[in-house]
Structure 1
Amino acid sequence: MLRLFPIETPVEVTEQKIRTRKKQRCDICRKEVINMKQHLMTHTGEKPHSCPVCKRNFTDPSNTKKHMMIHTGRKPYSCPTCKRNFTRSGDMKIHMMTHNGEKPYSCQTCGKSFSRKQNLKSHVQTHGMNRTIYHCTVCSKDFSD
């Protein structure tokens, strides 16, 4: 059965279509992907879709449309807790972890957890640099020199 989505949320329509397609395995990197033609552009560096405002290039036309929201100021996703608005649903979901305390990314070395994968990556680098970690007793945050 076909599901209809409001015109204002083209991202949801795209995500629904993607879920129904079958994945293929890339011969180059062995990753399973839905759109092989588009995925191969990541290996060739080809980015045929360009933003008409800033000329930034993308492999996928839907990414160009999502990017355009930066220029239009459109932020269709709203956090139900604090009402902060976001251009992408994924950014809103990550933000919502700050409200519920969810921290799914843990450091294998010290066990410290993070809500964002990028914050874990930055933290892991501090272990390899032999940095001294200082713990603030006022705010309970850790800092390094």
Structure 2
Amino acid sequence: TLFANNAINLNHISNNNNQRLIKRDRRNDTCEYCGKVFKNCSNLTVHRRSHTGEKPYKCELCAYACAQSSKLTRHMKTH
């Protein structure tokens, strides 16, 4: 019937849109340097620093700098 065909077409369109959203999310959480995919974009941010050399966390007592806040917290125990 016409209604049944329309329902199938709407489901097909909906499925295609969902697939595009999933693919878009994967692109956003994929490292542009090596292609590694992350489920969490903050993990990608930390990983990206391994390629760029960015070290935004700096010790105020010495020259130590690192890419992850947890590493700075661990380092501070040495002072």
Task: State if a TM-score over 0.5 links the two structures.
Answer: yes
- Structure 1 residues 49-68: aligned runs within 5 Å: none
Question: In structure 2, what is the Cα distance between the partners aligned to 1:81 and 1:108?
Answer: 31
TM-score w.r.t. length of structure 1: 0.36
Number of aligned residues: 57
Q: Offset of 1:89 from its aligned partner?
A: 1.0
| Between structures 1 and 2, the one with greater strand share | 1
Q: Find the counterpart in structure 1 of residue 35 from structure 2.
A: 83
Uncovered stretches (5+) of structure 2, i.e. residues with no partner: 1-19
- Partner of 1:78: helix, strand, or coil? coil
Measured after TM superposition, the shift of residue 121 of structure 1 is 0.5
1:112 paired to 2:64 = yes
Give the structure with the higher percent helix. Answer: 2
Root mean square deviation of aligned Cα:
1.8
Shift of 1:92: 0.4
What does residue range 1-145 of structure 1 map to in structure 2 within 5 Å?
7-8=21-22, 76=26, 77-127=29-79
**After the TM superposition, which segments of 4 or more aligned residues of structure 1 sit over 4 Å from their partners?**
none
Find the structure with the greater CA-based Rg: 2
Q: Distance in 2 between matches of 1:86 and 1:102?
A: 19
Give % identity: 28
Query: Structure 1 stretches of 5 or more lacking a match?
Result: 1-5, 13-75, 128-145
DSSP-derived class of the 1:82 partner: coil
Q: Which protein has greater RCO, CA pairs closer than 8 Å, 6+ apart?
A: 2
The normalised TM-score by structure 2 is 0.63
